[in-house]
Amino acid sequence: MHSIEQLRKICTQVRRDIIRMVHGAQSGHPGGSLGCTEFMVALYFSVLNHDPENFSMEGRHQDLFFLSNGHISPVWYSVLSRSGYFDKKELSTFRKLNSRLQGHPATHEGLPGVRVASGSLGQGLSVAVGAALGKKLDGDTGLVYSLHGDGEIQEGQIWEAAMYASANKIDNLISTIDVNGQQIDGSTDEVLNLGNLKDKWIAFGWEVFEMDGHNVDDILKIFEKAKESSGKGKPVMILMKTVMGQGVDFMMNTHKWHGVAPNDREAETALSQLEETLGDY
């Protein structure tokens, strides 16, 4: 079990990986990746019951994770490699020709850790529900986790899945929405106001928690509560407040770094704010 201090150190390194990968490819999505770093690190290093060295598609008797907002692939790839799914050297191939690290996550090239392609938004909750149903059929007590962007829930399919999951008591599912209030064209308030998210998910029959997506201690506590709530007839939703671009001062609190790569000077500035704790790839 990693201490809070160890998890924080991993987060710093993961943020370096994100900046270096996106800079190296001169494309990718740093904003949401930086914002979801604590979540991903806590999930993969403390929360999930998984077997990184022996990845299998079915993941029987393990917990599964589905990334629905696939554009934040840099943070996922970094955390997958740092937790043992594949060699960190491979991070240097991100978004390049013949790489398993596609711009958006895919199973096609056989990257361990990825179970379905994502990128076209709104599909991952349905897939997670299906995987959760599969576990129930098999009497498999593993849990299914998923992550979604807040802009993503503007997609109608999310609400089809939301309705299905509560109506069918999919209570081995713990989903999280990254509430950073930003999307490509601007703030979610400007683009399409999401209204009261908590009320919406409660109205759809979910057990809802809120957490601070940059406080590792809070993340671990809320995940513990979420796990305790599983198996009680309701799917669980965690509304996670984050800051897009967290950890790099000039990328924070703006939608401008949603899908833009830093140039050499910007990358250098960003990396100077992030200590190399575990060794760069």
Partner 1 sequence: MKKFTFTEKKDTRSGFGEGLLEAGRNDKNVVALCADLTGSLKMDAFKKEFPDRFFQTGIAEANMMGIAAGLATAGKIPFTGTFANFSTGRVYDQIRQSIAYSDKNVKICASHCGLTLGEDGATHQMLEDIGMMRMLPNMTVISPCDFNQTKAAAIAIARHHGPVYLRFGRPAWPVFSPANQKFEIGKAEMLSKGNDVTLIATGHLVWYALKASEILSERGIDAEVINLHTIKPLDEKAILQSVMKTHCAVTAEEHQMFGGMGDAVCQVLARHYPSPVEVVAVKDTFGESGKPEELLVKYGLSPEAMVLAAEKVMARKKAELQA
**Positions 75 through 134 that interact with partner 1 (CB under 8 A):** 106-108, 115-120, 122-134
Residue 139 in contact with partner 1, rule: CB under 8 A: no
Is the Cβ of residue 160 or residue 212 nearer to partner 1 in the bound state?
160
Residue 61 in contact with partner 1, rule: CB under 8 A: no
Smallest separation, CB 119 to partner 1 (Å): 7
- Cα separation, 277 vs 280, whole angstroms: 8
Which residue type is seen at 92?
A: S
Is the Cβ of residue 2 or residue 159 nearer to partner 1 in the bound state?
159
Smallest separation, CB 208 to partner 1 (Å): 20
Most distant pair of Cα atoms in the chain: their distance: 53
Residue 203 in contact with partner 1, rule: CB under 8 A: no
Given a contact cutoff of 8 angstroms between Cβ atoms, the answer to whether 4 and 217 are in contact is yes
Encoded tokens for 87: 């060699």
Which residue type is seen at 9?
A: K
Nearest in space to 21 (alpha carbons), one of 82, 71, 95, 83: 95
For partner 1, which stretch binds (CB under 8 A), given 5-13, 34-42, 60-68, 259-267? 60-68
Residues 6+ apart with CB under 8 A from 81: 87, 88, 90, 91, 281
Residue 228 in contact with partner 1, rule: CB under 8 A: no
Residue 184 in contact with partner 1, rule: CB under 8 A: no
Smallest separation, CB 204 to partner 1 (Å): 13
- Cα separation, 22 vs 29, whole angstroms: 7
Residue 49 in contact with partner 1, rule: CB under 8 A: no
- Cα separation, 173 vs 51, whole angstroms: 19
Residue 205 in contact with partner 1, rule: CB under 8 A: no
One residue of 1, 87, 137, 264 binding partner 1 per CB under 8 A: 137
63 Ramachandran zone, left/alpha/beta (phi>0; psi -120 to 50): beta
Is the Cβ of residue 97 or residue 137 nearer to partner 1 in the bound state?
137
- Where along the sequence are the contacts to partner 1 (CB under 8 A)? 57-58, 60, 64, 66, 106-108, 115-120, 122-135, 137-138, 156-157, 160-161, 163-164, 167-168
